[in-house]
Amino acid sequence: MEKPPDPDPHEPWRAAQVAAVMRTIERYLELHPHASDSLTGVHHWWLSGLDETVTDDVVRVALEQLESAGRIERRQPAPGVAVYGRARGA
């Protein structure tokens, strides 16, 4: 089965969704600095108040951008398992 294409962050509506998800993740981590979760957990728990049209792909792009900016860290506690949390020193 083929992986779906990444959302194009240059599409204005998609870029707005990614930015909203990034802000919400950062606010969540300000309130819960020791939180960590998988992509599914981030989507379900950390973003529970966002629009239901936000897809896992949008969440993944937001997490990748936050990781690239040094705002969050991705850890792998087990093979094939990615867990996201606040970056040390962020």
List the domain boundaries for the chain.
Answer: 12-86
Q: Provide CB contacts within 8 A for 55, sequence distance 6+.
A: 7
The reported pLDDT for the residue numbered 6 is 57
SS3 content of the chain, % helix, strand, coil (to 5): 45, 15, 40
With CA atoms as reference, report the closest residue to 82 among 57, 60, 50: 60
Q: pLDDT tens digits for the chain (90 residues)?
A: 455 455 555 577 788 899 999 999 999 999 999 999 999 999 999 998 887 889 999 999 999 999 999 999 999 999 989 999 999 876
Q: What pTM was estimated for this model as a whole? A: 0.83
12-86 has CATH 3.40.47.10 classification: no
